[in-house]
Amino acid sequence: MSDFEGLKALVTGGASGIGRATAELLAERGARVAVLDLDPSPVDEPLLGHRADVTDDASVREAVAAAVAGLGGLDVLINNAGIGAQGTVEDNPDDEWHRVYDVNVLGIVRTTRVCLPHLRASAHAAIVNTCSIAATAGLPQRALYSATKGAVYSLTLAMAADHVREGIRVNCVNPGTVDTPWVGRLLDAAPDPAAERAALEARQPTGRLVSAAEVAGAVAYLASPLSGATTGTALAVDGGMQGLRLRPV
Ligand code: NAD
């Protein structure tokens, strides 16, 4: 996995959690990496931070143009920016559905269509979307979030089919419960965060949460020429949750 040398990568939502771990790993492995985020300030050299909101087409176009100019091209796009939502279909009003879809699904569409012309010029073009086990697991209290990730999964397959003859591979990772600031915020909102964390860990097949670095490792594999014959797949990074047919509740 050291052969990112000379490759240029863009990571959306790369200032925190899974995206940040991915950006750092790709840079460590030799890639030049730009990060697109609502708030890129946590990102330091050698990562190139660009402010962008994936729900705003003009902002994405501007930031991608600046990032690609700074990188000197583009080989790898990591569509990772995403937000959560809790509840059943009775709990979220229409505008909340539109808001979360706008980030999790249309954010990928907007970023990808601006990046495709640059990826076509690459000999090692790869797109990796951050999906979730929620796409296929049937998680309780996650109707809206699951639907967005189901769409990300379908989009991954459709994009893989559309661009395979152009030499652009498209895959996704399906993380389980990952120890990121996002999950930290959810735990902090519980009456007893430590007890909630212990219960969450106990529900994992491995007895622990997945680390952001472990998801980054899977993303890096799918982004690298090592997976050159792999496209249209979802790689689970969930501590065995799906493979062992277990469901978080
Ligand atoms: P996080 O909140 O730590 O990081 C998400 C990043 O995305 C933040 O830096 C945020 O600023 C950025 N972002 C959010 N909205 C944006 C927008 N409109 N435009 C640009 N950037 C935006 O979250 P994380 O846990 O690292 O999650 C990253 C991805 O992983 C998401 O797509 C999420 O659905 C997915 N995921 C997370 C878990 C988990 O357990 N943490 C599990 C499965 C999938």
Q: What is the pLDDT of residues 84-106, one digit of tens each?
A: 999 999 999 999 999 999 999 99
Domain boundaries, the chain: 8-177+212-235
Largest CA distance in the chain: 52
Ligand 1 atom 33 nearest Cα? 82
Q: 102 Cβ partners below 8 Å, 6+ apart? A: 55
Q: Answer yes or no: CATH 3.40.30.10 is held by domain 8-177+212-235.
A: no
183 in ligand 1 pocket by Cβ < 6 Å? yes
Contact (CB, 8 A) for 170 and 176: no
pLDDT digits over 49-84, tens only?
999 999 999 999 999 999 999 999 999 999 999 999
Asked which of 10-24, 106-120, 178-192 is least confident by mean pLDDT, the reply is 178-192
Does residue 247 have a pLDDT over 70? no
Q: 90 Cβ partners below 8 Å, 6+ apart? A: none
Tell me, in angstroms, the distance from the centre of ligand 1 to residue 185's CA: 12
Distance CA 228, CA 81 (A): 24
Predicted local confidence at residue 3, as pLDDT: 76
Tell me, in angstroms, the distance from the centre of ligand 1 to residue 165's CA: 30
Distance CA 23, CA 164 (A): 25
Mutate to test the pocket of ligand 1, among 20, 51, 80 (most ligand atoms within 8 A of CB): 80
C-beta atoms surrounding 26 within 10 Å: 28
Mutate to test the pocket of ligand 1, among 18, 129, 177 (most ligand atoms within 8 A of CB): 18
**Helix, strand, or coil (residue 97):** helix
145 a catalytic residue: yes
Overall pTM > 0.90: yes
Taking the CA atoms of 242, 111, 126 and 1 in sequence, report the sign of the dihedral they define.
Answer: negative
The one-letter code for the residue type at 144 is L
Beta strand pairing call for 8-12 and 76-79: parallel
Does residue 246 have a pLDDT over 80? no
The one-letter code for the residue type at 38 is L
| Interface confidence (ipTM) of the complex | 0.99
The ligand 1 atom nearest the CA atom of 177? 40
